[in-house]
């Protein structure tokens, strides 16, 4: 009997050393993990794990890379973490907003 658990990994830079398989309805799964790689040691990824989401942090990111990531994510469900200045006040407000993007199927 197998049990399903959902795990959240630590926040680290550079999840390298793994490959994925799947896509579409079936989802994205970890196909192979290289021993001694960040994927294995830091993130403890295992072959067969389903990758549910990935959070990419924008601190010190190159503009071109941020643009690419945002463009590629357009058709998918995205959650943003925002920092906003409020008019007339100095304090910053953190807003977590779940934005659901659905591609409208245009009938031709």
Of the chain, the percentage scoring pLDDT greater than 90 comes to 61
Compare 88 and 3 and report the one with higher pLDDT: 3
Contact 38, 12 (CB under 8 A): yes
Q: What is the pLDDT of residue 10?
A: 86
Q: Specify the residue for token string 């009997």.
A: 1
CA angle 104, 107, 108 (to 5 degrees): 135
85 belongs to a structural domain: no
94 belongs to a structural domain: no
- For the chain, how many structural domains are there in total? 1
- Domain of residue 60, CATH code: 2.30.42
Gap between the Cα atoms of 103 and 106, Å rounded: 9
11 belongs to a structural domain: yes
Gap between the Cα atoms of 42 and 11, Å rounded: 9
33 token code pair = 């993990």
Q: The domain containing residue 11 runs over which residues? A: 1-79
Q: What is the pLDDT of residue 89?
A: 54
pTM score above 0.75: no
77 token code pair = 């469900």
Q: How many Cβ atoms sit within 10 Å of the Cβ of residue 39?
A: 22
Beta strand 28-33 pairing with 50-51: antiparallel
Q: Over range 4-16, report the average pLDDT.
A: 89
28 belongs to a structural domain: yes
39 belongs to a structural domain: yes
Q: What is the pLDDT of residue 99?
A: 42
Lowest mean pLDDT among 9-18, 22-31, 53-62: 9-18
Q: What is the pLDDT of residue 91?
A: 53
- pLDDT one-digit tens code per residue, 85-107: 887 655 555 444 444 443 444 54
């Amino acid at each position: 009997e197998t049990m399903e658990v959902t795990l959240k990994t630590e926040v680290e830079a550079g999840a390298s050393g793994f490959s994925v398989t799947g896509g579409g309805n079936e989802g994205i799964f970890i196909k192979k993990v290289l021993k001694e790689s960040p994927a294995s040691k830091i993130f403890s990824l295992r072959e067969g794990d389903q990758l549910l989401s990935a959070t990419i942090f924008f601190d010190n990111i190159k503009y071109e890379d941020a643009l690419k990531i945002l463009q590629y994510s357009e058709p998918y469900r995205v959650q943003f973490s925002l920092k906003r200045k409020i008019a007339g006040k100095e304090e910053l407000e953190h807003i977590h907003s779940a934005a659901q993007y659905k591609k409208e199927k245009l009938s031709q």
